[in-house]
A = this chain, B = another copy of it.
Amino acid sequence: MSVNSTHKDALFKLQHAGISNTSRRLAVLSILLKAKKPLNVSTIRRLLEGKCNIDKVTVYRTLSLFRKRGIIREIATTSGANYFEIASQENSLHPHFSCRNCGEITCLDPLSFTHAAKLIFSKHDYSIDHIEINISGLCTCCRNSSKKSFYKQEE
């Protein structure tokens, strides 16, 4: 994908999500659109160097906004840093592989659960230590409760 089409894609996504297109937002979104794998904040900032002056706070606020609007997905790791990837139809929900040696996170094929299970347990090219499935949302208790968000407010 050319730089220009990435830029157009970013513009379209912001517009579609009803977010005004500032230079920083376009820059962050373009980085994620061009990425082949999930990125953490320090990597995003490194990739932005030279292209765009941007404070780390702005990066966090931008990513948080993108996540709330469904433009990106946030991926938890035990390393402390969270990773981010584009969430779109073309980039559907898929498992991630994180290497315990280099820390790199790569995307696995978005196969069906059945197929994925087979693939996972036949171990293919990776040596697998640990498989984790995390599901997040609202628990029954919080769903039925009138009191709101004492943990983490979402609009």
Write the residues of chain A forming the contact surface with B, with a CB cutoff of 8 angstroms: 73-80, 82, 93-104, 106, 108, 112-114, 116-117, 120, 125-143, 148-152, 154
Task: A82 to B128: give the CA distance in the assembly, Å.
Answer: 20
A151 and B101 contact, Cβ closer than 8 Å, known pairs A134-B95, A135-B126: yes
Q: Compute how far the CA of A142 lies from the CA of B154 in the bound complex, rounded to whole angstroms.
A: 39
Q: Which residue of B lies closest to A112 (CB)?
A: B117
Q: In this complex, what residue of B is CB-closest to A104? A: B139
Q: In the bound complex, do residue A74 and residue B78 qualify as a contact, i.e. CB atoms below 8 Å apart? A: yes
A86 to chain B, nearest CB (A): 14
Further contacts, 16 of them, CB under 8 A, given A100-B138, A132-B135: A76-B76, A76-B77, A79-B152, A80-B80, A93-B131, A96-B133, A98-B134, A102-B142, A102-B151, A103-B152, A112-B117, A114-B117, A125-B140, A129-B136, A131-B134, A132-B134
Q: A100-B151, A102-B151, A113-B117 are in contact. Are A137 and B129 (CB under 8 A)?
A: yes
Query: Do residues B150 and A102 form an inter-chain contact, with CB atoms below 8 A?
Result: yes
